[in-house]
Amino acid sequence: MKPERARELFSDYAEDALTPALRLALDQHFEADPASRAEYEQFARVYALLEAHEPGMVEAPLGFRAKVLEKVAAEQARREAAPAHRAAQTLTGWWRSLGSRRAGAGLIAALAACGILGVVLNSTVGHDQPARIGPVPDFTPAVPTTITGVTYTQDPAGSHYNFQIHLPPSVPSATVNADILTTNDQITDADERAHATPALTPAQTLTNDESMEIPVTLPQPAAAGTTLNMWVQWTPGDGGPTGAQVVFTPAQPTPATPKPLPAATDFFDALQYIAAEYGVTVIADAGSAPTQTITPPKGASVEEQLQSVAGAVGYSVVKLPSGAYEVTQPRQQ
Amino acid sequence: MDEVASGRRVRAKPAVSAEEKAIIERCKRGDLAAFNELVKRYEKQVYNFAYRLTGNYDDANDIAQDAFLRVYNAIGSFRGDASFSTWLFRITTNVFLDERKRARAHPHASLDEYVELDESSVSRQIEDTSPTPDLVTEGKERAQILQDAIQSLPEYQRAVVTLYHTQQKSYEEIAEIMDQPIGTVKSRLNRARLALKEKLSPLRELFEF
């Protein structure tokens, strides 16, 4: 056994959490390598010190709770004032209605200021039937895809993305909110989303004979391994079910050898990782937050990886005409 | 309660009492008196955790206050999948990490500053100001040296060490708090303990290695 491997096992050895075979292997290693045994003994001493370490508890400072409640009260007041403030923030010129609506320079400037990075390579958007990948449960999505794809171009002025959004025929009209997210926590956590920067506010009303385009320009090429993430929620005007999707757009096209997904990863983290590593756009339902830990197969294709991740939470995968992959939650008709 | 068996400590997940559930439900309806009760129950834990993460009272105060404000804003989305305590620690950890990100965006040189703040970070090569063995003899000082060594770890390692060894959280709880797989938590903890061993080895005699 190499010393580095032995060190990786020190904690489990101290906690008697190794399998009998690994424990035996480490015992044999210690017999053969007294220096490694001595190193472990130092480690075990530090472990014992940490276990015995009981730093005294300090009291929260006087007035702590009063200060918290003061901030909460201020937050409440801010919320109550928010509708009027938002109404005053009408972004005239933000959208352009020529069969499509377009987010404008405000977002571009805000994103440039925030330095959010990401690059997407994809084909044009259409509304043809998506192609299902692999075996799919017998269901029809009640609220089909709303994010239909992303295109990407680059010129001296920066990296340009274009997010396409189109309500399905079953949703005559809906109010659409879209936010750029910087962490996966923001996908399902309303408070986290509230801090998304920048948000496309105010919300826009869209009918299903219109398409919405949200251009985003970044001042610099994106770094490998990053994604630009957009969350879109729509609330149908007829009171139908609210839907939400998130799109992970990769920084760069498929690398020669994508790194395998880490052994155990959360659902949205796994999708983001696949998008970044394989250079594909991944769109996922974001109305719920699957908590299963994902362990996809190593060396699999991007479609097999996505199927594995989707299958672990009971979702399925479709490939959209735009080339993006959609990971959808089954919805019974 | 903890149970020590064969060197491995088994830690039970905290249960949420019916009373606490009722308080949380009242908070969701905007009841400030209920929120006051919730803060009262957890302020000491959160403040101490923030203090162990930041190493100073002022920053701990800011982080703990912001954590409770974030709890207030997000409590409507608390579904009870995790215990409230786990959720609260997760928020506090996130506030701490966010704050450090902001600090990184506006850096200012400091003797204990780190070049990068993820687990692979390397401390600046500045003169070692650690106390020498002849200056520290009492157990109290030894505990302070250990605490200082923990403080000098990169943020993520510091957080997992504090959660496990000071806050007595289980691996499962830490995985929920840090939003990381258990395997990642365990390997970060192992690396943190190895790093502490290296930091403390010059003081081997003091710690009776």
- Return d(Cα A191, Cα B72) in angstroms, integer: 9
CA distance A329 to A316: 7
Which residues does residue A214 pair with via DSSP β-bridges, in sequence order? A163
The CATH class of the B13-107 domain is: mainly alpha
Contact between A283 and A147 under an 8 Å Cβ cutoff? The reply is yes
A49 with B36: Cβ contact below 8 A? no
Q: How far apart are CA B63 and CA B43, in angstroms?
A: 11
> Sign of dihedral through CA atoms A125, A128, A133, A139?
positive
Give the helix/strand (H/E) hosting B51.
Answer: helix B32-54
A76/B30 Cβ within 8 A: yes
Are the beta carbons of A50 and B197 separated by less than 8 Å? no
Q: CA A243, CA A288: separation in Å to the nearest integer?
A: 10
CA atoms within 13 A on the CB side of B187: 12
CA A132-A135-A138 angle, 5° bins: 85
**CATH 1.10.1740.10 in chain B, residue ranges:** 13-107
Name A72's bridge partners.
Answer: none
Cβ neighbors of B20 (< 8 A, separation 6 or more) are B41, B84
Inter-chain contact A71–B186, Cβ cutoff 8 Å? no
Residues of chain A with pLDDT under 70: 81-145, 158, 195-202, 219-222, 224, 252-256, 263-264, 296-299, 330-333
Q: Is A71 in a helix, a strand, or coil?
A: helix
User: For the complex shown, is ipTM > 0.85?
Assistant: no
Position A27 scores a pLDDT of 94
pLDDT in tens, chain B (209 residues): 343 333 445 565 666 678 888 999 999 888 888 999 999 999 999 999 999 999 889 999 999 999 999 999 888 888 777 789 999 999 999 999 888 877 776 554 333 333 333 333 333 333 344 445 454 455 667 788 888 999 999 988 999 999 999 998 999 999 999 888 989 999 999 999 999 999 988 776 666 65
- The pLDDT tens digits for A21-51 are 999 999 999 999 999 999 999 999 999 999 8
Among the partner-chain residues A69, A188, A264, the one whose CB lies closest to the CB of B181 is A264
Task: Find chain B residues with C-beta within 8 A of A273's C-beta.
Answer: none
B3 touches chain A (CB under 8 A): no
Residues of chain B with CATH 1.10.10.10: 115-209
Hey, what are A166's tokens? 């189109």
| Surface of B (99-128) touching A: CB under 8 A | none
Answer whether B187 sits within 8 Å of A43, measured CB to CB. Answer: no
SS3 at position B151: helix
Class of domain B115-209: mainly alpha
Locate B76 and state its tokens.
């409507």
CB contact under 8 A, A17 and B32: no
Dig out the tokens for A39 from the structure. 């190193």
Considering only CB atoms, B165 lies closest to which of A50, A69, A188, namely A50
Assess contact for A313 and A323: CB atoms under 8 A.
no
Quick one: pLDDT at residue B5? Answer: 34
Please state the pTM of the whole predicted model. Answer: 0.50
Q: Which residue of B32, B179, B193 is in closest CB contact with A46?
A: B193
Whether the CB-CB separation of A214 and A103 falls below 8 Å is answered with: yes
- Give the distance from residue B142's alpha carbon to the nearest chain A alpha carbon, in angstroms: 10
Peptide bond into B133 cis (omega under 30): no
CB A213 within 8 A of CB A108: no
Interface test with chain A among B88, B193, B200, by most A beta carbons within 10 Å? B193
Q: Which chain A residues touch B182 with a CB distance below 8 Å?
A: 264
Distance in angstroms (rounded) separating the CA atoms of residues A160 and A76: 38
